[in-house]
Structure 1
Amino acid sequence: MVYLSRLRVILIGLALISMVFGASHAFASVPGAHILFRLDTDEVKGRRLEAMRDQIRTLLHDAEPRISYSGLAVSSLTVQLRIDDPGQVEAAKVALKAVVEPIAGKDGPVQEFALDDSERGLLKFAMTDAGAKYRTSEALTQSIEVIKNRLNELGVADPSVQLTDDGLLVQAPGVADLHSLAQILARQGRLSFQLVDTSMPVDDAVNGQPPVGSTVLYTQNDPPVPYLVEDRVLVSGDSVLDAEATHDSSTEQFVVAFRLDSKGTQRFKWATTRNIGKPFAVILDDQVISAPIIREPIEHGTVQISGNFTAQSAKELALLFRTGALPARLTIVEEAR
């Protein structure tokens, strides 16, 4: 059995090595080398709609008096729900006012969602064209920043990253192993800690319908091992302040240690204090790396991940944590010299 301890999260398995760029990289000079990426804009919009769905759930949960609803779901570019009591429709619209309020864009306010309440009792919040454009633009800007940070961390000489009509163009004239570099830059690197849902056997969830608010995720094992994981993210990679690869002399293993910000530290302490004895999933890019048991509260913001890492794979994992996650998938369209 693997346990979650005060300053260490032990992660099992060789799978992470293959997930986190096990190959070594050479960066010899090759003039004209470049990579073209394309951002998955559908995923950008989909994640935003899922976030809005969760926000609506929270707003209605916190409403006073309580508002009863059903059918909260994402459909195409719309988040919709049905208010059970017609007499509470107006109260629901007031509680959800923030959903349709304009957000601050670079060129002025942006109406991201529009409300359609033409059908009795049914509220539909549709993402506007302006909202989709704004989120896509923000995701492209974030992707460029993450790519630049990774190139800088890798020590790539004289790189450039620019947005073209065909996608994100990365010029790296100092790189010989272009394919390995492309794999590193395209990695999303989304880290999260989420509770394992023990309300039903995972096999029942796989063969039937998972409970609302939970999803079946798999490990990279062969065959993959399923876990029923709560959708709620308790601590995410956004809370990571710094990360470094090091060698643990007591175990003779390469490890990755990272430090959480104050918010992440408090969330980690809160979650582990209230869930002692329960499994806690460590997830990287929608795959379960491990699900250790919480033995005691983790009150400090330092977490150490250990496994059968090589020096290179530990360094690259630390790089992902330091430079942050991409907002959506990047597809490698072209590698050329």
Structure 2
Amino acid sequence: MLYFSKLRIITIFLLSLVFILIASSNLFNFDNKFLNKKINLGLDLQGGSYLLLEIDNTPVIEQKLQNLTTTIRNYFKEKNIRIKNLKLLDQQIIFSVDDDFKQTILDEFNNQESDLNPYYPRFKKHQLDIIEKDNIFYVSFSDQGIVKLKTSSQDQALEIVRRRIDEIGTNEPNILKRGNDRILVELPGLDDPMRIKSLLGKTANLTFRFVTNNQEDSFGTEKLKYADTSEEATVSKRIILSGDNLLDAQPRMNSETNETVVSFTLDRVGAKRFGKATSTGIGKQLAIVLDGKIISAPVIRDTIASGSGQISGGFTFQSATDLALLLRSGALPAPMNIIEERTVGPDLGQDSINAGMIALAIGFVLVIIFIFTKYKIFGLITNVTLIINLFLLIGILTIFEATLTLPGIAGIILTVGMAVDANVLIFERIKEELKNEKNNLIAFDSGYTKSRTAILDANITTLLAAIILFFMGSGPIKGFSLTLGIGIFTTLFSVYFIARLLTVLYVSKNKEKEGLI
């Protein structure tokens, strides 16, 4: 019925006023925290940097297989099963056996309860390919196993990339998966991506190892270069500590040497290992290795049992800050390469804003003129409703501090069109009702009631499409679907509450007047 209680009228008025105030916070600054929120501008509007990173999973696959190689050797040694020529080649573990042991080994690999490999429960059948030919075994990850390993690496890398970017304080970064080995990073407002590229391009794999001259070290040795010189040092492959044992890392100024250093704090396990290593290694050099290069190799003068220490290496304060950030955020599971990068300047972003706003203004003005010409006073009501509808939509986006993109502006423009469409359906239906009904109140009420099904059908199907686009689409498509989806709800509210209320107020005062519409 064309009736609104005083409570409903007050509620509609207050709700509209609140959203108008919230939307206005994008133009004015308020002291109130709730009213001081703003819509963030996306990369295409604000300008910024776009980076597409690709994860190199080759070292991860080789590391997993290397661990499995060691496990196979030790496991079959304990079982008194002789295997020969065990090696890792082209991402395959290869070894040969005598005829007497072939079936036993096949049984071990095919036994799902076997403790052959500590990783094996995660890569059960269909994830490890085991091929035997002429008493030679070939063990490798299956296609499914590779996909799972890549997905796991991507999830870890995504979290660490997010930590590193959040530490810098970039406003509203957009970090998304692409496939199973790529990560998309959008950084609005950042027009100099060099520091970000440097931080994201480093694996930040930190280890502490002893420098040794003993080539027959039981753990093996390797030659590594210093980060700041071309000199080399031979270090043991035995890892005393890794970055996993770090609790915190911060840049500091050493008061004694007036040198910028990175101070670190270890967890309980790391402190115990560090204390033991420094107590038994007094006089030795302890190499601090980051991503395969020696940062520094200080001589141990005394036992360090406090679980804290310093990394020196001729750092500037900026480089020390970045190193501390990398260590705090953790090591990437695999190296990442930047395969695509784009920088959108603020001038281009402003051009996009201007183009979008001009399109919105032109479309809005044309709609207002058409509706007013066609429906007179009810066209004016529709136009007022359209303006309030825009405030409702912008107010909701402001509450959630959403990121507005150019496709998002397109969604707002489409919302204006859908709001007009709903009003046109209602008014045309009212015209038909007035042909058979002389009572204006009944005709208007019937017009709203009988057009409801068509309006709901149109908006619900559009909403379903918006939901699918949001969950299946990428960043720009998500922005379009988000504003469109919210716009559908604000349109229905504005049509059936605000426009209907204003229509009721007018028709009630002119219920005897002929030719209202």
TM-score of the two chains, using structure 1 as the length reference = 0.75
> Structure 1 residues 119 and 277 mapped into 2: Cα distance closer, same or farther (>3 Å)?
farther
Counterpart residue type for residue 306 of structure 2: H
Aligned equivalent of 1:158, options 156, 165, 172? 172
2:242 to 216, 223, 236: 236
Deviation at 1:69, TM superposition (A): 5.5
In structure 2, the CA distance between the partners of 1:244 and 1:101, relative to structure 1 (3 Å rule), is closer
In the alignment, the residues of structure 1 paired with residue 214 and residue 82 of structure 2 have an alpha-carbon distance, to the nearest angstrom, of 23
- Could you tell me which runs of 5 or more consecutive residues in structure 2 were left unpaired when the two chains were aligned: 1-44, 345-517
Contact 1:103–1:111, Cα closer than 8 Å, also in 2: no
- In 1, distance between residues paired with 2:324 and 2:119? 38
CA contact (8 A) 2:54 2:337 kept: yes
The number of aligned residues is 294
Tell me the secondary structure at the aligned position of residue 199 of structure 1: coil
Match of 1:49 in 2: 65
2:231 pairs with 1:217: no
- RMSD after superposition: 3.4
- Structure that is richer in helix per residue: 2
SS state at 1:175 partner: coil
CA radius of gyration, larger in: 2
Whether contact under 8 Å (1:83, 1:89) holds in the other structure is: no
Q: Matches of 2:204 and 2:279 in 1, distance apart?
A: 27
Partner of 1:141: 155
Q: 2:299 and 2:132 mapped to 1: Cα distance? A: 46
Is the 1:213–1:231 contact (alpha carbons within 8 Å) kept by the matching residues of 2? yes
SS at match of 1:103: helix
Give the equivalent residue in structure 1 for 2:314.
308
Match of 1:205 in 2: none
Question: Contact 1:104/1:110 (CA < 8 Å) preserved in 2?
Answer: no
Residue in 1 aligned with 2:88? 74
Separation in structure 2 between the aligned mates of residue 132 and residue 144 of structure 1, nearest angstrom = 18
Bigger fraction of residues in strand: 1
Q: Which residue of 1 aligns with 2:207?
A: 192
Among candidates 20, 38, 51, match of residue 35 of structure 1: 51
- 1:58-137 alignment runs, 5 A limit: 59=75, 63=78, 71-82=85-96, 90=104, 97-99=115-117, 102-104=120-122, 112-120=127-135, 122-137=136-151
Distance change in 2, residues 1:281/1:100 (3 Å): closer
Q: Retained in 2: the 8 A contact 1:178–1:335? A: no
More divergent stretch after superposition (44-53 vs 87-96):
87-96
- How high is the sequence identity, in percent, across the aligned residues? 30
* Deviation of the 1:200 alpha carbon: 3.3
Structure 1, unmatched stretches of 5+, are 1-28, 202-209
- The one of the two structures with greater contact order (alpha-carbon pairs below 8 A, sep at least 6) is 1
Partner of 2:270: 264
Query: Paired residue for 1:171?
Result: 186
Would the aligned equivalents of 1:196 and 1:227 in 2 still touch at CA under 8 Å? Answer: yes
For 1:24, the equivalent position in structure 2 comes to none
Query: Equivalents in 2 of 1:175, 1:309: separation in Å?
Result: 25
CA contact (8 A) 1:195 1:281 kept: yes
* Letter of the 1:332 counterpart: I
Displacement of 1:150: 0.7
